[in-house]
Amino acid sequence: MKPTSLPKFFELSASLNKTTLKLHASQAHGLICGIICGGSDHQMAWENLITGGKTTGKTHELLQTLYETSAHLLDSYLVEFQLILPADSQALSERAEALTLWCQGFLTGLKLVNIPIIDRESSEMTEAINDIIEIAKMNYEEVVASEEDEAAYTELVEFIRVAVILIYQDLREEESSQQSSSSSAHLH
């Protein structure tokens, strides 16, 4: 049985700080999720992208768990799928920065597996990707610790979580219909 619980933000941060690239934990999770959305054909060297090639056994295990759990949760369309972000007890500006980094990582992951993120045909998935692009550009330094900004942050996190599941589902449907088209073309 696959693990269904993602590593904690602080645990992932501590492990990534021991690597060459020292990626932000949220950015690394976004990158992995973008790559996963690209489909099973894209089992590339994602770990080297995140670590820069320097990793310990414990970091490797944690990243492997992160990848496998994220893939399982997305593939099962589980509501348990969550973005890896700092705890709610952290400053809102720190959490907002992590959210923009998660989005940037996700978009980079999509691009790495050749999923176009701009100039797409109009669709729900295109709208979701465009919204994630806008969130990735958010100026987190202007975020004020207020109830209004806190509520907006919570809504953005939930929006992105649902948008990523939608993107994953749509890409699986595209992949499936392309495979059906190519196999029926071979039959004729």
Residues 38/114, Cβ–Cβ less than 8 Å: yes
What's the structural domain count of the chain?
Answer: 1
Q: What is the C-alpha separation between 115 and 126, in angstroms, rounded?
A: 11
Q: Is there a domain that residue 32 lies in?
A: yes
Residue 54 region, left (φ>0) first, then alpha (ψ -120 to 50), else beta? beta
CATH number at residue 127: 1.20.120.740
Report which DSSP code applies to 114: T
- Segment 18-43 mean pLDDT: 86
65 three-state secondary structure: helix
- Indicate the average pLDDT of the chain: 87
Residues 151/109, Cβ–Cβ less than 8 Å: no
Tell which wins on pLDDT, 3 or 6.
6
Q: What is the C-alpha separation between 119 and 72, in angstroms, rounded?
A: 30
Confidence of residue 2 (pLDDT cuts 50, 70, 90): low
Query: Which residues constitute the domain of residue 114?
Result: 9-180
Each residue's pLDDT tens digit, 105-127: 999 999 999 899 988 888 899 99
Tell which wins on pLDDT, 126 or 4.
126
Q: Is there a domain that residue 1 lies in?
A: no
Q: Which among 94, 87, 40 is positioned nearest to 67, based on CA atoms? A: 40
Q: Is there a domain that residue 2 lies in?
A: no
Q: Is there a domain that residue 137 lies in?
A: yes
Count of other CB atoms within 10 angstroms of residue 20 = 12
- Helix, strand, coil percentages, rounded to 5, for the chain: 70, 0, 30
